[in-house]
Amino acid sequence: MKLKVAALLLGATLGLAGCMPRDGEIVIKFSHVVAPDTPKGKAADYFKRLAEQRTNGRVKVQVYPNSQLYKDKEELEALQLGAVQMLAPSLAKFGPLGVREFEAFDLPYLFDNYQDLHKVTEGPVGEKLLAKLESKGIKGLAFWDNGFKDFSANRPLRTPADFRGLKMRIQNSKVLEEQMRALGALPQVMAFSEVYQALETGVVDGTENPPSNLYTQNMHSVQRHLTLSQHGYLGYAVIVNTTFWDGLPGDVRATLEGAMRDATRYANQIAKTENDVDLAKIRDSGKTQIYTPTPVERAALKKAMMPVHAKMADRIGRDVIQTIYKETAFNPNH
């Protein structure tokens, strides 16, 4: 642990030195854990292009995909220390940081579609959630979609009973732990960069991902079955180190805010399309059997997982959950 902290502190020193204006240039290190050809990877590269063009090269954005700099558990600490300036972590990462309200996004079957989701992420609820990060030295800039998650494993997953005893990889989220337990599965917290090998070697039996993550990490090649459960949402919050952001010249900060708005629009436009394309690639590979649950099967999966909402309400905040229910007209009893 001491070596890890020392490494992060050294990285922070070098990072802050690297992002200080030099000959008018400001460097932003943007780290993420997924592949460049995912929705998040493409959006990060798009933001880089916009930021550099609109500041006439005064800002240089260095994008580091695929956990090149930091894994899941390390990246938030690295941002707080200043070793990197910008991240787009999945929303599940903020619960362990102490901002448990974000864990609402992990609740199963909370959003039926992107329209309902965007009522939250693009409305006052989303603004209030991002504001809660400020006490952690983090400035929230935007929400980026990835997509809706599907279950995969090496055996068919059609009913809740099919999950019993399976070791299922999840992000570090108490809500996702309860979700898997509600299905009778054994939740296994694991860094995203380690999942393929764990699936290949049988350390875990299955996982949950949007198709883009499954395909771009080649997980489909070691998962014989994919159920289009669409049971949960995977999204990201684009965040920056507050000290760095507040220290930028006002005109630069305003330009970057505009670039982020346009990058967010782009990210959320391509999310569904990219997942549809990658799902087709998974189907064409012939390595994974894809199954669409019947309405009855979907209702059974939902019924099995809905108790997670009530069980996690005190942890997340009943007021937060009820506000989201109201925004989306969600009925937990149907």
**Separation between Cα atoms, residue 284 and residue 65, nearest integer Å:** 26
- Tokens found for residue 106: 């992990």
- Looking at residue 55, its pLDDT comes to 97
**Separation between Cα atoms, residue 124 and residue 110, nearest integer Å:** 18
Residue 63 has pLDDT above 90, yes or no: yes
Q: Tell me if 312 is assigned to some domain.
A: yes
Residue 227 has pLDDT above 90, yes or no: yes
- Looking at residue 4, its pLDDT comes to 47
Label each residue of 87-144 as H, E or C. Answer: ECCEHHHHHHHCCHHHHHHHCCCCCCCHHHHHHHHCCHHHHHHHHCCHHHCEEEEEEE
- Looking at residue 12, its pLDDT comes to 45
Q: Tell me if 9 is assigned to some domain.
A: no
4, 203, 224, 281, 283 from 286: Cα distances, Å: 42, 24, 9, 9, 6
Confidence of residue 7 (pLDDT cuts 50, 70, 90): very low
For 111-119, the CB contacts below 8 A with 24+ separation are 111/148, 111/233, 111/328, 111/330, 112/328, 112/330, 114/145, 114/268, 114/271, 114/272, 116/327, 116/328, 116/329, 116/330, 117/145, 117/233, 117/235, 117/328, 118/268, 119/327, 119/328
Mean pLDDT for the stretch of residues 111-132: 96
Q: Tell me if 1 is assigned to some domain.
A: no
Confidence of residue 334 (pLDDT cuts 50, 70, 90): confident
Q: Tell me if 307 is assigned to some domain.
A: yes
Which residue would you say has higher pLDDT here, 161 or 96? 161
Q: Tell me if 227 is assigned to some domain.
A: yes
Q: Tell me if 59 is assigned to some domain.
A: yes
Q: For the chain, how many structural domains are there in total?
A: 1
Range of the domain at 58: 26-328
- Looking at residue 22, its pLDDT comes to 53
Q: Tell me if 21 is assigned to some domain.
A: no
Supply the pTM of this predicted model. 0.89
142, 194, 137, 139: which is closest to 171 by C-alpha? 194
Buried b (16+ CB within 10 A) or exposed e, 80-104: bbbbbbbbbbbbbbbbbeebbbbbb
Residue 46 has pLDDT above 90, yes or no: yes
Residue 6 has pLDDT above 50, yes or no: no
Q: Write out pLDDT tens, residues 281-292.
A: 999 999 999 999
CATH number, position 127: 3.40.190.170
Residue 14 has pLDDT above 50, yes or no: no
Mean pLDDT for the stretch of residues 67-77: 88
**Collapsed DSSP state (helix, strand, coil) of residue 235:** strand
Mean pLDDT for the stretch of residues 309-325: 97
Q: Tell me if 89 is assigned to some domain.
A: yes
